[in-house]
Structure 1
Amino acid sequence: MQPEAPDNNDLIYGLNDRPSPAPATLAAIQHVLAAFVGIITPPLIIGSALGLGAYLPYLISMALMVSGVGTFIQARRPFGIGAGMICLQGTSFAFLGAVLSAGFMVKQRGGSPEDIMAMVFGVCFFGAIVQIVLSRFIGQLRRIITPLVTGIVITLIGVSLIKVGVTDLGGGFNAPDFGEPINLALGVFVLLVIILLNRSSPPWVRLSAIIIGLAVGSIAAWFCGKLTPHAISGVALISMPMPFRFGFNFDWSAFLPVALIYLISSIETVGDLTANCMLSREPIKGPGYIARLKGGVLGDGVSCMIAATFSAFPNTTFAQNNGVIQLTGVASRYVGLYIGAILFLLGLFPVIGAILQQIPKPVLGGATLVMFGSVAAAGVRILAQSTLDRRSMLIIATSFGVGLGIAAQPTLLHHLPQLVQNLFDSAITSGGLTAIAMCLLLPESKETLAEKKQEMEALEH
């Protein structure tokens, strides 16, 4: 028998309530503020690392615009695509490692920035198809990609990205002033500001901590001479999306790591959607719940396909916006339509990207260090909720050992075929595949199997 949804008395607006435009717009702006930095940071990092500076305003515009379209789809749920909830779509940090690897592979071959983006968006487009197919088999996937595997991969993603944050904090890749005391001081200053704001009482100060930290850090950099604002010229007034603007390319060695992250991202989305259902006072069992999960993951896949088509990096359902639902008491999916419209309008104006591009690397590094550390901490939290018996500890130890070991010594595989190198030279893919293989090969205890059987029964029709 399907349990009834809990009482809605702690929600101001339930899932299907229609708030008037004023409160709906206010709630939508709060969601946008909570997610804005997360949406625009991956394009900033990827563009900086791969030498795509000339296209950064366009890439940031497309990231915002596609996030708006994806959020609208998730809330509106056309043709069963989407969860029918506030599922804010934003650029996923999980794909950074795989995207950077694909970009550097093209760069080492002598490829131009356009060649890099043709390859990246090509493999991401086909990866989105993988996620769309996976959305039909959510129940079966949860038998393979367990919370243990998800926790390991997310922790490895965070740990791997911390190097990127520290590099920016020092001044950026190959910066002539890398590691200068002024760079370190700026990065640590931004880090401290964000920490202090996160410890404050007002909820909206905490939600805006990263935006405030970046703003204060940029002002400090200006006083220190590390930020010289330059006039924005040559930037189009309105950014018009163009499908496959940079062409289309594909390479299996670049695709396989991306496909693995799409697999992990799908399972992570299931967790975020479950939390959203709980906050929205919707059932977390039964056919309706399963339909939401399938629609939500399908919405992620469609959003990612749109993103790759219009030169934006892969999207995912942002977990932090569940916190906004809890704080505001507004779970109405109609607010999601407002969020989508606001993000789309922000993406129309590339001047926003041109301004954000001027944020000094140490300032950005101080902020991303917290964000990437939070990714790793989220993975640790998932692991802590798993049953950490001898089998689990052995899987964790081996996966971390393989993943972080290869990341620390990438030349270890240089005598192997290029395909193997490209697939396993990332801590995420090597550690993630190790975790999946060990979970499949090592038998579980009878007690653990009984617990999982009960969990699976809750996910089946």
Structure 2
Amino acid sequence: MNSSDSAPSDMIYPLDSKPPFMEATFAAIQHVLASFVGIITPTLIIGGVLGLGEHIPYLISMSLMVSGVGTFIQARRPAGIGAGMICVQGTSFAFLGTILAAGFIAKGQGGGPDEMLSLIFGVCFLGAFIEMFLSQLMHKLSKVITPLVTGIVITIIGISLIKVGMTDLAGGFNATDFGSWQNLSLGLFVLVLIIALNQSRNQWIRLTSIVSGLVAGFIISGFLGKLDFSHLSSLPLISVPVPFKYGFSFDWAAFVPIALIYVITTIESTGDITANCLISKQPIEGDSYLKRVKGGVLADGLNSAIAAIFNTFPNTTFSQNNGVIQLTGIASRHVGLFIAVVLMVLGLFPVIGGILQQIPKPVLGGATLVMFGTVAAAGVKILANEDLDRRKMLIMAVSFGVGLGVSMVPNVLDVTPKVIQNIFGSPVTTGGLMAIVLNLLMPEEHRATEPVLSKA
């Protein structure tokens, strides 16, 4: 027998394969569970800060529904729009500061929730065309967005997400019982269970490792009294999408910062799509790679425009779902269609999303922590494939230092204008821009044969 035949494969279902219905369904559920909180959390934050009150449930429903539509576009790739992979779309955290600033501009002019949302969705809709335009220049940006740059960006994305996963494992932001032994034990239990199940040679057990870990943690949470379903009765039965329900307005002061963030998300999406290519065993250079990135970034922009039309915030490709692909061994883009259906159903029937929303933060943290670490490892793998000379090492050092520095010392920009804080307060933005600028300004080394130093 050939030894390669007996060796376990890391990829159970490759990109263009069609998994059976049950396997595809379980894989889709795991992707949804990995991204659910990330999709709805920005809406919860924006709604809370701007005082949107009764509008929040509808906005959450729209965020889930549009995420489903965007994920379908990325996977199905209609008319060449989309990456043709499992690129789960979700509400972007990168826009939080600029969206809040736009809301306060409308509020400062005496506007209420309708006026704030009208301005936010108006500038977000127009800004999306910037990302769509940049997507058509991807073939000319190969000298700007190199494997070195994308490797740095992906690594920073993973490292910055790890903080979110660990915070959730301990109980979540501002939790009164943050770091309690109960939270830590629950999160670590889920983490260890997922790792143990993922090591199984049984493909079915491996396929359901994340779902099993979350379900087990959810059940234990019920016995610990951490579940509360009293709010479900207040949720509407069905949410109906209404284009530009809150109107459409524009303001340059709100538009410019958001436009700049769309430029940055082009870089972030390129990094996420590159990581997806790497994990899905697809090329990360050449014509097919550029075509995939071009279609994926174009879909990102289009999906953000659709999001604004249907009353939710800009979308982007979620990086945590790359970790699900890595753990399950399922890269089939047909699973993306299943994910899309699940997300749209969640958006149509808010009560389902309300139940999933009750998954305690420590349970989610235990599951997402390993996924976020996988994203960072994917970035490291790209960098490891580079010929790391002194120039590239210096670019990496400065990009990591400055990018992660603003994350570790968030008040470093407190005395700068709000626009600067909004743009450079993100480690991904700062590190990514630093990598691009240094890569352009620092000349390539013309390497000559270096003399070998004799050992004493």
SS in 2 for 1:387: coil
Say which SS state the counterpart of residue 232 (structure 1) adopts: helix
Question: Which of the numbers 222, 244, 267 marks the counterpart of 1:263?
Answer: 267
Q: Name 2:8's counterpart in structure 1.
A: none
Query: 1: CA distance between counterparts of 2:169 and 2:328?
Result: 32
Give 2:31's aligned amino acid. A
CA distance in 1: counterparts of 2:158 and 2:266, whole angstroms: 16
Change (3 A) 1:28 1:242: farther
Match of 2:129 in 1: 129
Alpha-carbon distance, 1:382 to partner: 1.9
Partner SS for 1:176: coil
Counterpart of 2:316 in structure 1 is: 315
Is 2:299 the partner of 1:295? no
Tell me how far apart the structure 2 counterparts of residues 147 and 72 of structure 1 sit (CA, whole Å): 27
> Quick check: 2:65–2:347 contact (8 Å CA) kept in 1?
yes
How far apart are the structure 2 equivalents of 1:132 and 1:45?
Answer: 25
User: Aligned runs of 1:391-430 on 2, under 5 Å?
Assistant: 391-430=391-430
Stretch deviating more after TM superposition (51-60 or 438-447): 51-60
Amino acid at match of 1:194: I
CA distance in 2, matches of 1:325, 1:166: 22
Instruction: Kindly state the Cα deviation for residue 218 of structure 1 after the two structures are TM-superposed.
Output: 1.7
Structure 2 counterpart of 1:225: 225
| Structure-2 change in CA distance of 1:370 and 1:14 (3 Å) | closer
For residues 319 and 338 of structure 1, the distance between their equivalents in structure 2, rounded to whole angstroms, comes to 16
The reply on whether 1:88 has 2:89 as its aligned counterpart is: no
Q: In the alignment, what sits opposite 1:29?
A: 25
In 1: Cα distance, 2:149 partner to 2:220 partner: 42
The match for 1:458 is none
1:390-423 alpha-carbon deviations (Å, 9 max, x no partner): 1111111111111222222233233333322322
Report the residue type matching 1:40 in the other structure: F
State the Cα distance separating 1:100 from its structure 2 match.
Answer: 3.8
1:72 and 1:185, CA in 2 relative to 1: closer, same or farther beyond 3 A?
closer
* In 1: Cα distance, 2:386 partner to 2:236 partner: 50
Q: What do residues 28-52 of structure 1 show as CA deviations (whole Å, max 9, x unaligned)?
A: 4244134212331213443555565
Q: Counterpart of 2:409 in structure 1: which amino acid?
A: Q
Displacement of 1:342: 5.0
The structural deviation recorded for 1:143 is: 1.4
Q: Distance in 1 between matches of 2:15 and 2:371?
A: 30
In structure 2, how many angstroms separate the alpha carbons of the residues matched to 1:63 and 1:114?
17
TM-score (norm 1): 0.76
**Distance (Å, rounded) in 1 between the aligned partners of 2:133 and 2:152:** 24
CA distance in 1 between counterparts of 2:158 and 2:13 reads 35
| Residue aligning to 1:452 | none
The correspondence of residues 432-443 of structure 1 with structure 2, limited to 5 A, is 432-443=432-443
8 Å contact from structure 1 (residues 193, 213) kept in 2: yes
How far residue 187 of structure 1 moved from its aligned partner, in angstroms, is 1.9
Between the aligned partners of 1:319 and 1:171, the Cα distance in structure 2 is: 24
1:327-383 Cα distance to aligned partner (Å, 9 max, x none): 58x67x6x7656644543443221111111212222222223223222222222222
Taking only aligned residues, the RMSD between alpha carbons, in angstroms, comes to 3.9
Q: Structure 1 residues 68, 258: CA separation in 2 closer, same or farther (over 3 Å shift)?
A: same
2:116 and 2:387 mapped to 1: Cα distance? 42
**Alpha-carbon spacing, 1:204–1:54, altered in 2? closer, same or farther (3 Å):** farther
Deviation of 1:260 after TM superposition, in Å, equals: 0.4
Q: Structure 2 CA distance, aligned partners of 1:125 and 1:436?
A: 27
Runs (5+) with no aligned partner, structure 2:
1-10, 449-456
Shift of 1:77: 4.3
Aligned length: 423
Residues 319-358 of structure 1: pairs in structure 2 closer than 5 A: 319=322, 340-358=340-358
1:168 aligns with 2:168: yes
Percent identical pairs in the alignment equals 46
- Within the candidate set 39, 42, 51, 1:46 is matched to 42
Matched with 2:381 is 381
Are the structure 2 counterparts of residues 275 and 231 from structure 1 closer, same or farther at C-alpha, using a change threshold of 3 Å? Answer: closer
Q: 1:405 to 1:12 in 2, by over 3 A?
A: closer
What is the CA–CA distance in structure 2 between the aligned matches of 1:394 and 1:204, rounded to whole Å? 45
In the alignment, is the contact (CA less than 8 A) between 1:157 and 1:376 conserved in 2? yes
* Structure-2 separation of matches of 1:348 and 1:368: 26
The 2-side partners of 1:231 and 1:191 are apart by: 29
Query: Which amino acid counterpart does residue 425 of structure 1 have in structure 2?
Result: G
SS in 1 for 2:433: helix
State the TM-score, normalized to the length of structure 2. Answer: 0.77
SS in 2 for 1:158: helix
- Indicate how the Cα distance of structure 1 residues 125 and 213 shifts in structure 2: closer, same or farther if over 3 A, else same: farther
Match of 1:201 in 2: 201
Which amino acid in structure 1 is aligned with residue 395 of structure 2?
A: I
For 1:126-165, what aligned pairs fall within 5 Å after superposition? 126-165=126-165
Paired with 2:15 and 2:269, the residues of 1 have a C-alpha distance of: 27
